[in-house]
Structure 1
Amino acid sequence: MVDRLFEAELIYGRLLEISEPHLIARYNKALAGFGMRATALDTFRIDMTGFSPEIADEFGDEDYLDPNRVNRRFVILTPEQENLPVVHTSFSNTGGLMHEFFEANRRAIHAVTIKDALYGEIEDSVSVVDSLEDLLSINEVTFRVLSAEDLLGKAGELRQLVDRLTSEPDAWRDDVMLTRMVELAQVTGDIRQNALVPDQLVFRHDAFWANHFGGVYVFLDGKATTVICDPAAPGFRRSRPWQVAYISLGDPAAIYDFLVRTGRIDLPRASWVEGSGLLKHRAEMIVRDLVHRSQPEVDLDKIDAIWLQTWMHRNVALVSKDGAYPFLMEALRTIAVSGELKMADVPPASRFLVVRARPDHPDRWLVSQLISEMVPADFVSRFVFDKEGFYRSYDAMAETMRKHVVSVLANTYLKDKRAFRMRLYGLGEDDHA
């Protein structure tokens, strides 16, 4: 299963290969700092956080940098990691927080990684997540940063000695201190020129998805918090009810009302529907899903538009019973004539077929992930916005469908990711890309 995804670069793609002995040695010192054994690999790949699928396989632990699925660990060997994806995380905003850390501390990261590696934890206010209350208590995170060769510690010591030299009149007579300063400077360089200590370590924890309790979406609107998850999650509708609204993932009407009320989605209007092709894309995804569910032996890679039309004519009762394809075709006709679709007349379960996240909203990626979960037949959108969910659904697919899914993604999204995201979803450059 993974081999086909791996070969098509649909899993663990765009990672950075680490094979230089000195970088591997620094990585192992970081692992030792976490109380872990060293890797015996002489080459492996890492993502933005330093997670390596090869080391995870070697250790037999996919969560070796995320042991409690909170307080995520990281290892920074090179500034190049800033441009890598995050391929394994328990929180959707891990990548965003890492980007903020790189952006705020670029000078220090560049200076330190010349001679050392940075490692540590993204510390939350909780150490274990046992209920929704624990997730909701996370308002900000603090990067606890160490260095494999203790370059940060030595820089801090040198800074203290410099301060003493400039503040104490007779400090220059202390030969032991001066010798120590020379020793430290040989390692750290001139700390007056090189900023080795990170400038900003505390960052706000905004809207996010967490993979706890089957998946939890947390949205923030000023002092109001909205949680969307399985109602069986511990703490649902009980924690801080005067501040938090709880919505079941099985309640599409309530989810839709929340997204509309808070201005997080684009309603179906000709201004974006006709140029994006999103509704046509979803319609084709739905038909192909129907074909597979009714005739799993069919090789979907070999069918074309004429074959699909013929199949729908022969299976009109099945298509009508499902209802999604006829609804989308009627929606497109209505939008073409009137310029919009009256959503009050649309059944709640069908509303997510004709909307998308507002491209200018800060939560656009999180909303897009939620919408993709509500439209499971659109595996392309699921892959773009919810890779963890995509991999789970892919694992449950028949082999013929897996082959088709890989082929479609390779020939559409992977050919030009940015152009694809812009055309269908209105999304341009983004840190999550």
Structure 2
Amino acid sequence: MKRLLEAELIYGRLLDVSEPHLVERYNKALEAFGLPRTNLKQFSIDMTGFAPEIADELGDRDYLDPNRVNRRFIILTPDQVELPVVHTSFSNTAALMHEFFNANARAINAITIRDALYGEIEDTVSVVNDVDDLLSINEVRFRVLSAEDLLDKATELRTLVDRLRTVPDAWSDDEMLNRMVELAKQAGDIRQNALVPDQLVFRHEAFWANHFGGVYVFLDGNQTTVICDPSVPGFRRSRPWQVSYIALDDYQRIFAFLASTKRLELPRASWVEASGLLQHRADMTITNLVNREDPRADLAKADRIWLQTWMHRNAALIAEDGAYPFLQEALRIIAATGEIRMKDVDPWGRFLLVRALPDHPDQWLVNQLISQLTPFDFVSRFVFDKQGFYDSYEKFSEKFREFVVETLTRTYLKDKPAFRQRLYGIGEDKGNA
């Protein structure tokens, strides 16, 4: 992973923590979780407070994600809202954290001046044993504490203020008045600073969970659709009258579901030609074939002439694979007619021609699913399914890793919002690195 780290393709855009008082607040949060204090004087954190260096020190990447459910968080600064989430078991962790930051901005700003917030995103289950456990998660509650007990002190001070206002002889209680002065020195004027978060409960919308090799859950009113490997415990057993189950290799049913629920943007000239997405995928099929045939090939130095020569010499291989000629023919048809009749396309090829509908709330999740179904497109896989990308990267040859890093640096990292907008029609990153 050294090459990825140097190129900031893993653990990128994290926040440096090196000020002693912030390190100490972080340690108090770790202790509250029952974890050892860190001996590090400097580390970097993501939006949830996860630090790769501390994960290495503890030998536990899930130190803030026990049982991979009820995710923990540590907030040292409101600036964390601008960071990605680099390690999580649920795809919507970043979205939930964004909602929490936005709904409680005033309290977070006030508290983190003198304290750190920590706690858990509590689900309705403590352990995931089957699909039904995942489906039972309808909402989450943020259980919030503070490292220096500032929240508790503010709550106690508010209670004493209320007593002072309502109990006639409270002014004569010197012990209570002294306690109020002591608390006010630490919590400040609670009439001016809203230290208690305003909203702690949030809906658990459509998501991907990394349990059982990956489970997609989509919500449409009272109907739920689960897409995963059919060997997952509980597949087709839970609430069959309310839950539809689709196998991850059933391209026809997956496409029918996404298209019928208007989550897909079908191939039309209006976006295909401007985006360059289909040509991008066509190029990806060729580089994938080159690597498959000769893992030692130096694609980082390959120009168009080299690739054209390779394609002429390997025409039979390209025809047998089918993806490149299929995409070239699709581009020709779109240029001539403006669209493609998807019912005439074999199920295996349909996901090569589509992207998530850009303005749909599930756009990131749908693009993640598409990238998993078209794994040769390592660029899209990196953008939408980083864990899947990292797993694939580990299996690449050294030469191909070099080419992958160079390609991502030259294309996606150069201007991420512009790249996402052009190829996929979306710009907001939702906390992704």
Taking structure 1 as the reference length, the TM-score comes to 0.99
Q: Mapping of 1:342-361 within 5 angstroms?
A: 342-361=341-360
Q: Report the counterpart of residue 271 of structure 2 in structure 1.
A: 272
Deviation (angstroms), 1:428:
2.0
Question: In 2, Cα distance between the equivalents of 1:431 and 1:294?
Answer: 37
Give the gaps of 5 or more residues in structure 1: none
Question: In 1, Cα distance between the equivalents of 2:203 and 2:220?
Answer: 14
Identity %: 72
Question: In 1, Cα distance between the equivalents of 2:251 and 2:311?
Answer: 28
Question: In 1, Cα distance between the equivalents of 2:364 and 2:113?
Answer: 34
Question: In 2, Cα distance between the equivalents of 1:287 and 1:428?
Answer: 27
Question: In 2, Cα distance between the equivalents of 1:221 and 1:82?
Answer: 29
SS in structure 1 at match of 2:219: strand
Q: Report the counterpart of residue 362 of structure 2 in structure 1.
A: 363
Q: Report the counterpart of residue 15 of structure 2 in structure 1.
A: 16
Q: Mapping of 1:232-381 within 5 angstroms?
A: 232-381=231-380
Question: In 1, Cα distance between the equivalents of 2:307 and 2:220?
Answer: 44
Question: In 2, Cα distance between the equivalents of 1:83 and 1:16?
Answer: 10
Question: In 1, Cα distance between the equivalents of 2:74 and 2:264?
Answer: 36
Are 1:150 and 2:130 an aligned pair? no
Deviation (angstroms), 1:430:
4.0
Question: In 2, Cα distance between the equivalents of 1:229 and 1:257?
Answer: 16
Is the contact made by 2:382 and 2:389 (CA closer than 8 Å) also made in structure 1? yes
Q: Report the counterpart of residue 185 of structure 2 in structure 1.
A: 186
Q: Report the counterpart of residue 101 of structure 2 in structure 1.
A: 102
Question: In 2, Cα distance between the equivalents of 1:295 and 1:87?
Answer: 32
SS in structure 2 at match of 1:365: helix
Q: Report the counterpart of residue 428 of structure 1 in structure 2.
A: 427
Which string of whole-angstrom CA distances, capped at 9 and with x for unpartnered residues, describes residues 141-172 of structure 1?
00000000000000000000000000001101
SS in structure 1 at match of 2:153: helix
What amino acid is the match of 1:329?
Q
Deviation (angstroms), 1:31:
0.5
Question: In 2, Cα distance between the equivalents of 1:105 and 1:85?
Answer: 19
Q: Report the counterpart of residue 76 of structure 2 in structure 1.
A: 77
Which string of whole-angstrom CA distances, capped at 9 and with x for unpartnered residues, describes residues 361-409 of structure 1?
0000000000000101100000000001000000111111111100100
What amino acid is the match of 1:200?
Q
Which string of whole-angstrom CA distances, capped at 9 and with x for unpartnered residues, describes residues 55-80 of structure 1?
00000000000011000000000001
Question: In 2, Cα distance between the equivalents of 1:291 and 1:23?
Answer: 49
Is the contact made by 2:67 and 2:126 (CA closer than 8 Å) also made in structure 1? yes
Is the contact made by 2:140 and 2:203 (CA closer than 8 Å) also made in structure 1? yes
Is the contact made by 2:83 and 2:431 (CA closer than 8 Å) also made in structure 1? no
SS in structure 2 at match of 1:353: coil
Question: In 2, Cα distance between the equivalents of 1:414 and 1:274?
Answer: 23
Question: In 1, Cα distance between the equivalents of 2:197 and 2:426?
Answer: 32
Deviation (angstroms), 1:432:
3.5
Q: Report the counterpart of residue 210 of structure 1 in structure 2.
A: 209
Is the contact made by 2:100 and 2:200 (CA closer than 8 Å) also made in structure 1? yes
What amino acid is the match of 2:221?
G
Q: Report the counterpart of residue 136 of structure 2 in structure 1.
A: 137
SS in structure 2 at match of 1:232: coil
Deviation (angstroms), 1:431:
2.3
What amino acid is the match of 1:109?
I
Deviation (angstroms), 1:256:
0.5
What amino acid is the match of 2:87?
H
Are 1:226 and 2:222 an aligned pair? no
Is the contact made by 2:296 and 2:397 (CA closer than 8 Å) also made in structure 1? no
CA pair 430-3 structure 1, distance change in 2 beyond 3 A? closer
Are 1:125 and 2:119 an aligned pair? no
Question: In 2, Cα distance between the equivalents of 1:386 and 1:203?
Answer: 24
Q: Report the counterpart of residue 62 of structure 2 in structure 1.
A: 63
Which string of whole-angstrom CA distances, capped at 9 and with x for unpartnered residues, describes residues 20-61 of structure 1?
111011000000110111000000000000000000000000
Deviation (angstroms), 1:125:
0.1
Give the gaps of 5 or more residues in structure 2: none
Q: Report the counterpart of residue 194 of structure 2 in structure 1.
A: 195
What amino acid is the match of 1:422?
Q
What amino acid is the match of 1:59?
L
Question: In 2, Cα distance between the equivalents of 1:135 and 1:206?
Answer: 12
What amino acid is the match of 1:149?
E
Question: In 1, Cα distance between the equivalents of 2:365 and 2:27?
Answer: 34
Question: In 2, Cα distance between the equivalents of 1:41 and 1:429?
Answer: 33
Question: In 1, Cα distance between the equivalents of 2:296 and 2:28?
Answer: 52
Question: In 2, Cα distance between the equivalents of 1:303 and 1:180?
Answer: 74
Deviates more, 1:391-400 or 1:185-194: 391-400
Is the contact made by 2:139 and 2:203 (CA closer than 8 Å) also made in structure 1? yes
Q: Report the counterpart of residue 37 of structure 1 in structure 2.
A: 36
Where in structure 1 do 4 or more consecutive aligned residues deviate above 6 Å?
Answer: none
Question: In 2, Cα distance between the equivalents of 1:110 and 1:259?
Answer: 40
Q: Report the counterpart of residue 392 of structure 1 in structure 2.
A: 391
Deviation (angstroms), 1:304:
1.2
Question: In 1, Cα distance between the equivalents of 2:398 and 2:313?
Answer: 25
